[in-house]
Structure formats: structure tokens, C-alpha cells
A and B are shown apart, each in its own frame.
Chain A
Amino acid sequence: MSEAFALSPDFNSAESRAEVPRSLGLARRGDRGVIVKVTGVSGAAEAIDAQELERRLLEMGFVEGARIEVLHEGLFGRDPIAVRVDDTRVALRRREAGAVAVKFDGR
């Protein structure tokens, strides 16, 4: 539960896009999918521990099974991102989004 989920080595290829869960931190505008895991481990140094990050994400509605869609990206480094979680719009940085694994819809 506490280890970060591994990234698929070839997550760019079309087949694996749909099947392997990817980090929300790497998602692009327009990507949609379903949250499969919220860990609290973003892979970056955080001011709060993983448990706390996990709980904050959960409280904002990032919970397993929630539908997700990336609505907007910032100008610099495409960061932060605005996502729709079920029917709530939330803005967050890519680093924290890294703690959310999403199974994206195939295209």
C-alpha cells in the first residue's frame, strides 16, 4: 500500500495506455479514466507524510472508483492540472497527482 505503483515502461504505446494504470501526474489534457489506487506516495519530497497526503486526496474526492478527466493544464510545464473527479472540479499539482493511479480509457 505504501509503495509507489510502478510506471509501465512503455506507457506511450496505444495498447498499454488502456490497460496498465498510469500516474495521474503524467496524464494529459483530455485523458479520462477511473481511479484505481490512491497511495499518498507521490514520488517527490512532500511537506506532509504519505498518510496525510492520502487522506487529503481522499477528502477531495480522489477515491478508488471515481471517474476522472483532465480538464486543463497550466502554461509552465503543463502544471498544475485541473481535473474533474466525478462531478467536482479540483486543481492540483502534478507532483501530488503522482499519488493517484488511473486506469485510462483506451482511445
Chain B
Amino acid sequence: MALDTPVRQDPGLASSDPKASDAAPARIALVGNPNSGKTALFNALTGSRQKVANYAGVTVERKEGVLTTPAGRQMRVLDLPGTYSLRARSPDEVVTRDAVLGRLAGEAAPEALICVADATNLRLVLRLVLELKRVGRPFVLALNMYDIAQRQGLRIDLERLSREIGAPIVTTVATRKRGLSELLEQVERLVVPRGDAVDSVWREPSAAEIRAAHAEAQRIFKACVKPPERPDTMTGKVDGVLLHPVAGLAILLTLLFVMFQAVFTWAKIPADAMDHLFGAFGAWTAAHLPPGLLASFVSDGLIAGVGSVLVFLPQILILFFFILMLEDSGYMARAAFLMDKIMGGAGLHGRAFIPLLSSFACAIPGIMSTRVIDNRHDRLTTILVAPLMTCSARIPVYGLIISAFIPPRTVYGVLSLQGLVMFGLYAAGIVSALLVSFVIRRVFWRGAVEPFMMELPTYRWPEPRNLLMNLWTRARIFLERAGRIILPLMVLVWVLSTFPYPPPGATGPAIDYSIAGRIGHLVEPLMRPIGFNWQMTVALVPGFAAREVAVATLGTVYAVGGDADSHAALSTLLQHQWSLATALSFLAWYVFAPQCAATLGVVKRETNGWLWPSVMFAYMLTLAYIASFVTYHVAVALGAG
């Protein structure tokens, strides 16, 4: 990593002006194992005063909040990614280590740490605590979920434990906001201004040192913790069902099915409403602004642009809601366990399951969530195949073509033919994603497989308040990232399809004379072998901003208007204009084509360069062309030309 050079504030400078150090809020950081309730504690401490950004130069989310101590002092809190050790393996864990050591570029070292531990699961965290102790930065141990420990009759000798680890201990229940003021009092005591900066000494421990630390942690654990009188038996019983080789998989698939149903049916109402609202708003501005360039820019460029981002929000919120529920309850690790072999067969890591699942709503949050994957090749493979998952932006396109060309027949008495085709398109996406990753891992990045090792946390009921806060955070991140990319793109596409103006007396649609139209005409000969006409290629150009825009553009090109009411008209028109072979070829194109510049933009961000977005663009375009070519010619040979 590029972060190995220590960047530290000059201690002389900091201490020479005592007023400045009084005024600047102290910085503290939260460290802990995954599943220790660290983020819940962060939420409880900072409330809504949170800010999410990226660490300089790395694509790891930086979550910072502000809190006020009981004494009225302001402090800045950093929520560091969960880890079992300071020996970093994933980019997330590198950030945790470097932040703790004060080595993070552009970050001042935290004055104190709060080490968050699940009070019912102390064994592994004690080793991390010992590691922190050796670093030498002042810390307080927050024994979180203490209510559960008490309910289980777990006895912890807090005084002795505190003496053994050489740090104060506070018991907390983050979800009920218990113990927070005591915790902050301890933190205040730790951040008393020091003359000299604490020197962080740390080097990667050897296996022998880890063993020694383990033995020490074990000794402390035995001395301070009495085993629970009423240990949790629920998790074991639930796992008996949920991890059952057959029943477990069946339950997982059912759960996914319900999730999809929810994403697509529940989100439809708010999404449609939003779509109409933005349509009406656009029409209203167009009517009230003096007709001309400004009106067109505001209604077709800006409002349509904002609308095209927001229209995905309901689906993404519902999807994230499910994912957060599954994560907070402890089920997500089980899902990775159940899916590991299936994903592994295609060369994917078990942890790729969540990112690929998210990609069904939109590849952007999917690609952003690949950060949980440690290994670089595993992560890149997941990123590369994520856009093959059928995202919701393809649905309007699929919907239009299917309703125009596939007869609403019933097959085998119960199944609708249209539904079957839709299912087939989804299946084509999944199968091709698995095949592509198989090829990547068996041909290009052969050999070694990253280990799969994951703690299976105790099951817990998700806490609604905490869940909503995390949902809000994720929605905000999506809007910021996607908005920053999609909005300018929509404006660009508006420019491309508006200028230059048609000559006076022109008969065709205006877009035909624009840059987008010319590009469409230019590439049309290339697309003729796959059965596309020039109207389709023109529609593909704005479709690069967002897939569903192609529907509106087809409406414009065929001069029937792009709004929802004219869908029926467009659908009828297409039946006369396109052959079935052309329609099927268009569907095949949409399964594979990299028709989403926002996805490419996010890949560029996540991989820090243009190499991987270019690879993604090239391979998807090639696949799309081949798939459409084969589809078209097979269909023509079968008499559908």
C-alpha cells in the first residue's frame, strides 16, 4: 500500500499553542472485531452527526461523527473497519491498522481508542486488546452487549480484567444507549493533553508471537471470566436448521426469492410515483420557462437526470433493508457458508455473494460492497462480473421488447411465456457471470484460491433504530456516488442529443441531426450484422448514460414521445418496424452490453484507474456483439427474420 510512510503532525507545533489544542476537538477511534456492535456504538455516540467519505487515496469508507461528552467537550469519532488483528489483510483492515498507528496519510493520529468487544465473545478480542496495549496508544475497553452477558449469567471480573489489560473498562449496551456517559468520562480522562505524542511501536507478529499472545489472552480469560450459567443455545438450534445442507439451501433460496419479490413489487409504487412526479415537474418547467434551450436543459437534462438517479432509490432502499437485516441478525455469514461451494466452483469467493446480490438492483452499490473481499484477484473478478447481473435499469427495456414481441400466452397451463422469457434473461445474466468468472480464474488468474474463513456470529434480533440509521447512511452514499456520476452524464447526453439543431425545414426527429444521431448513423453499418437498424443504434448512445434511457430515446427517434403513456404506442410501432429476430438480438445485447457509464465510473473509482473499466467495457461489448450476432442469425435461420 502507498500508505507506509508515516505522516504525523509535528508534536512541537501542536503543543506550542495550548489554546489551539483546547479548541480543536479531540479525535478518538473505535476499533473492534466484526460483529462486536461497534457500528451500533458509533451510532449511539454520534446520532445523526455523521459524515461518510473516503480515505485519501484508498476506496475505504471513512465514517466520522461528532459527539459531545457529559462535560460539554466536543470530540470527533472515527468508526474503523472491524478486524481481528492489526495484521491487515484487506484494504479495510489496512486502514484500521494505519489509523490506530497514526500512519494514515492526511489523518491525525487519534488521541485515544475505544476498543469495542462483544462481552459474550471475549476470547478472540482479548488478543486484539493485547496488541493494542503494545501499540501504546491510550484506550478504553467497552464491553458491549453487556445486557446479554448478564442474561446469560456470564460473570466477568471487571476489576481484574482492567488490571490485566492495563486499561479502563466500561460496560455498555449500545442499542439501549446504556453506559455511554461512563464511557465518555473515561475517554475524557484519557485524552488529557500530553506534552509529547505517543510513539506507536508495532510490527507484524510472527506465528510464535501470536501463539504467545493467545496463551496470555487465554490466561486472562480464564482468570477473569466465569463461563455463563445459561449459555446461548438458540444459535445452535437455529443453525441446525439454517445450516442444514439441504434445508438450509432451500431456505436461503426462498429468502432470496422473497427479497426479489419485495424489491420489484414494493418498490414499484414509489418508483412509479417518483417517475411521474419528475415527468410532471419536467413538463411543468418546460411549460413555464420560455421555450428554447434553457427549458430543454432544465426539463430534459437536469430534472430527468436527477429523476433517473432517484427512481432507483426505492429499490435500493428495500434491497439494503434486507441486506442489513441479514447482516445484523448474523445470517449473512451463514449465506456465505451455504453459497461458498457453488460460488467457488465458478472461481468466486463466498463473500462475493453479497455484492452480486446487490447488483440485481444496481451494479453500483454491488461494486462498492466488494470491499469486504480481501484478495485482489477475487475482488476484481467480482467487480468484473457484477454488471452481468440483471440490474433494475434493464427491466424497462426488457419489459418493452417482451410486451411487444412475446405473445401473452400460457405454456404448460400455468407459466406465462412472457414471464419465462424474463426469467430466461435473468438466468442468462447469472450463468454468464459464473462462466466469465470461471474463465477469469481458470485461464487468466489460475491457481491459488484465497482461504475462506469466517466467524459465524451469534444470532441477534436486529435493532430497528440502528438498522434505520445504517440504511440512511447507505442510501446517502449511493445518492452521492451515483448522483455525482449519473447527473453530469445525463447533462452530457442531453448536450449530445440536442446539438447541433436540425436544419430549418427538417422532417425527421431532431435527435437525428444531433451528435448522438450522427454517432448512431456512423456505427450503424457495424451493427447491421446483428440485425440493428439506425434507430436502435441512435437509441444506444444515450442509453450509455443509463440503460432505461434507451426506451425514452426509441420513443423520440420513432417520434411517438418518450413518456409512459406512449409506451403502448411505441410497443405497437416496434412490432411493425422490427422483426422478431431483431427484437431478440436487442434483448441479447442488453444482457451483456456495458450500457452504463456510471458503472464504469464506479469501477474506475474502486480500482483507482482506467485499466479495469476498459477491460470491463471491452469484454462486455465483445460478449454482447457475439451474443446478438448468434441470436439474430439463429432466429433468422429459424424463420423469425
Chain A residues within 8 Å of B, Cβ to Cβ: 40, 45-48, 51, 53-61, 63-64, 71-80, 82, 86-93, 95-96
The 10 A-B pairs of least Cβ separation, nearest first, read A47-B448, A75-B245, A89-B456, A72-B243, A76-B341, A91-B337, A58-B210, A47-B450, A96-B451, A92-B453
B447 to A, closest residue via Cβ: A45
Inter-chain pairs besides A80-B452, A93-B344, 16 sampled, C-beta below 8 Å: A45-B448, A45-B449, A47-B375, A48-B448, A54-B207, A56-B89, A60-B124, A64-B211, A71-B243, A80-B337, A82-B243, A86-B123, A87-B123, A91-B337, A92-B451, A93-B451
Chain B residue numbers with a CB within 8 Å of A53 are 451
Knowing A55-B87, A88-B455, say if A74 contacts B447 (CB, 8 Å): no
Chain B residue numbers with a CB within 8 Å of A87 are 121, 123
Are B124 and A51 interface neighbours, CB within 8 A? no
Chain B residues within 8 Å of A, Cβ to Cβ: 84-85, 87, 89, 121, 123-124, 127, 205-207, 210-211, 214, 235-236, 239, 243-246, 248-249, 333, 336-338, 340-342, 344-345, 350, 375, 377, 447-457
Are B249 and A75 interface neighbours, CB within 8 A? yes
Q: Report B18 CB to chain A, min CB distance, Å.
A: 42
Q: Can you list 16 A-B pairs with a CB-CB distance of less than 8 A?
A: A45-B447, A45-B448, A47-B377, A47-B451, A55-B205, A55-B206, A58-B207, A59-B84, A59-B85, A59-B87, A75-B249, A79-B341, A82-B243, A89-B455, A92-B452, A96-B453
Q: Report A39 CB to chain B, min CB distance, Å.
A: 10
Are B449 and A74 interface neighbours, CB within 8 A? no
The CA-CA distance from A73 to B337 in the complex, in Å, is 9
Q: Report A24 CB to chain B, min CB distance, Å.
A: 12
Q: Report A57 CB to chain B, min CB distance, Å.
A: 8
Chain B residue numbers with a CB within 8 Å of A60 are 84, 124, 453, 455
Are A59 and B127 interface neighbours, CB within 8 A? yes
A1 to B, closest residue via Cβ: B207
Chain A residue numbers with a CB within 8 Å of B84 are 59-60
B456 to A, closest residue via Cβ: A89
Knowing A75-B341, A80-B341, say if A58 contacts B214 (CB, 8 Å): yes
Are B448 and A46 interface neighbours, CB within 8 A? yes
Are B211 and A58 interface neighbours, CB within 8 A? yes
The CA-CA distance from A55 to B88 in the complex, in Å, is 12
The CA-CA distance from A56 to B85 in the complex, in Å, is 9
Knowing A58-B210, A82-B243, A82-B337, say if A89 contacts B235 (CB, 8 Å): yes
Knowing A76-B342, A77-B341, A80-B452, say if A91 contacts B211 (CB, 8 Å): no
The CA-CA distance from A60 to B124 in the complex, in Å, is 7
Are B456 and A90 interface neighbours, CB within 8 A? yes
The CA-CA distance from A64 to B89 in the complex, in Å, is 23
Are B246 and A59 interface neighbours, CB within 8 A? no
Kindly identify which residue among A40, A54, A77, A96 contacts B452, using a CB–CB cutoff of 8 Å. A96
Kindly identify which residue among A48, A79, A91 contacts B456, using a CB–CB cutoff of 8 Å. A91
A50 to B, closest residue via Cβ: B207
**Most chain B CB atoms below 10 A, which of A46, A87, A89:** A89
Kindly identify which residue among B124, B239, B246, B455 contacts A72, using a CB–CB cutoff of 8 Å. B239
Knowing A46-B451, A74-B341, say if A82 contacts B456 (CB, 8 Å): yes
Chain B residue numbers with a CB within 8 Å of A89 are 235, 239, 455-457
